Structure 1
């Protein structure tokens, strides 16, 4: 999961942000920690770094300040030895602070929330509505993100390090493969038949790849 495999511009597109923002989030600010784990300038991003990026981008869209995100990451790294906490824990937010279910960190502590952006102070509150529904976690103590529904929870496109070498995919077929087949002039039904996919899955993959899909376009490919 930590093998570099993703170009920054691609990861930024998946997260709905910019390559410049990715660089800023990985850069140390004086004594302040980076927002996501760093890398060499010319190095690709790993799966775990892409998940960190996606989680942080979702938090920012929900209005969580960067300082709160930095504080949370710093706290978890110091207290629990987590180097990539935003890819390992089930985060929730109220738009101001970052919180975790206490059971995610200590199974013996029930029905509490830990405000990780305030140095781990316990808080008795109702469980907040989960923000990051597109991130699916492994059912173990760490709860590492094993799948990102990168196009949204209602879309079939996902990133899973165990499938298609971690590329965005639908039913195991990388979305870029379907984009190239469409770009060669093939029609929707022909592509779907070749990969044994429902046409709506191909359409979702092409939309994710930024393709304007005409479902009735005839097959223009010539052998």
Structure 2
């Protein structure tokens, strides 16, 4: 790999840096901090770990954050923690993946975790699916829904972008942008909040960053700012 290519790929080192506090991950995924911590704690003797075990109080890396987001999506779809843990154990062994929920693409029918079998076997065909939560059982279907909140590298593999507020909003978490901080139009959401807290108006902030007023409002709302109440207070 030449120097220019190495520079472009430098962001990959950020995938493993513990940049996200438990409370931040919980807020982004609409979970409680206790739930996120529990998913990363050492399970009892009769249970499998939901996610990678980590020291108490330690921050999460980008890959760990995405695993939290993916598991949260599974849970909202109705998949049990038991099946999620079983799928993770199976994939960790079969694919030798430390963070399989962040490194591969999934589908769910609300009961099980499915993967396109092409992620295991390139010539398997587009409609062959593998049930990771059932020890690798195969099926053929095109009606199981993909997780919609994530974009994947080369349309498969690593979850490279999380639409953290939903696809209809402009807030994303991408390790290639702003060191993985939540951002809107390439600007970290905390930067908008800082300008707002300093007393600047939305028009001023939007002009400085060269973006639409609505993008500024989207970022501020993500940061927990009540824009309308703030406007009334200022005027």
Interval containing the TM-score (normalised by the shorter chain): over 0.9
Is this contact kept in 2: 1:188–1:215, CA < 8 A? Answer: no
Offset at residue 42 of structure 1 (A): 2.9
Aligned alpha-carbon RMSD (Å) = 1.8
Classify the secondary structure of the residue corresponding to 2:16: coil
Contact 1:75-1:119 within 8 A present in 2 as well:
yes
Q: How does 1:33-182 map to 2 (within 5 A)?
A: 33-110=48-125, 111-130=127-146, 132-139=147-154, 143-182=157-196
Secondary structure of residue in 2 paired with 1:146: strand
Distance 1:191 1:112 in 2: 49
Equivalence for 2:41:
27
> What's the CA shift string for 1:106-150, capped at 9, x where partnerless?
1111121101101001112334122x211110017x610111010
Q: How many residues end up aligned between the 2 structures? A: 218
Structure 1 residue 31: Cα displacement: 4.5
Superposed CA offset, 1:3-54 (max 9, x none): 1111110111001101100111012322533212122113211000000000
Q: Tell me what 2:9 maps to.
A: none
Q: Answer 1 or 2: which has greater helix percent.
A: 2
Runs of 4+ in 1 over 3 A off after TM superposition: 215-220
Compared CA separation, residues 215 and 169, structure 1 to 2 (3 A): farther
CA–CA distance in structure 1, aligned partners of residues 32 and 231 of structure 2 = 33
**Structure 1 residue 78, shift from structure 2 partner:** 1.1
Q: Counterparts of 1:1-16 in structure 2 under 5 Å?
A: 1-16=15-30
Unpaired stretches in structure 2, ≥5 consecutive residues: 1-14
